[in-house]
A = this chain, B = another copy of it.
Amino acid sequence: MKGVTLIQLSSALAFSHALMNQVVNPGDHVIDATVGNGHDTVYLAKLVGTTGHVDGFDIQPAAIAATTKALTAAGFNHQATLWQTGHEHIADKIAADEPIKCAVFNLGYLPGGDKSIITKPTTTLTAIKAIQERLVTNGLIILLVYAGHPGGAAEAKAVLDYATSLDQHQFQVLQYQFVNQVHVPPYLLAIQKR
């Protein structure tokens, strides 16, 4: 047995980044449907580069402010447009014929923010459907689904039920989940257009 470093299984968050790396290329148009503190917005802006673009959505002013700051610090503010509105309005902001390569959702509440302001099943599903209509072949919707907070379990069930019901000839749906954790970690859903 060699004394090499052994690699641990990726968390759902780390796996979401691995999927973005696989799918997103320079020049792509992508969506951060829940910018939060801007971590994924910056991650996506780096991947799409100066020839691509990120449209980011969040209903909370604090999230828009934090993400603006993060994008500016990284030098990516020309590669992203932030919309201070709920992601259920994606269809109003993104043209119907504008292709989307990848979209990312971090469901639940804003980390460090007001935990009573949470994403909700109906608006989350509206956003997913708007993105599905614009998704290119092999394009990917990635959802990090948190079920541990009040309201989280209902949203997780609604999203999983919807994803499970998708026609396998149009989309394939992967669930990546740690199943023996007491404190309900997020699981990942990846919806890929065929």
Residues of A within 8 A of B (CB): 1-2, 4, 6-9, 19, 22-23, 25-29, 99, 101, 136-140, 160, 163-168, 171-182, 190, 192
Contact = CB atoms under 8 A, between A and B. Distances in A.
B9 A25 contact: no
Contact of A22 (B7, B165, B179): B7
B27 A101 contact: no
Contacts of A28: 1-2
Nearest to A137: B6
Nearest to A22: B7
A29 B2 CA distance: 10
A176 B15 CA distance: 11
Contacts of A6: 23, 101, 136-139
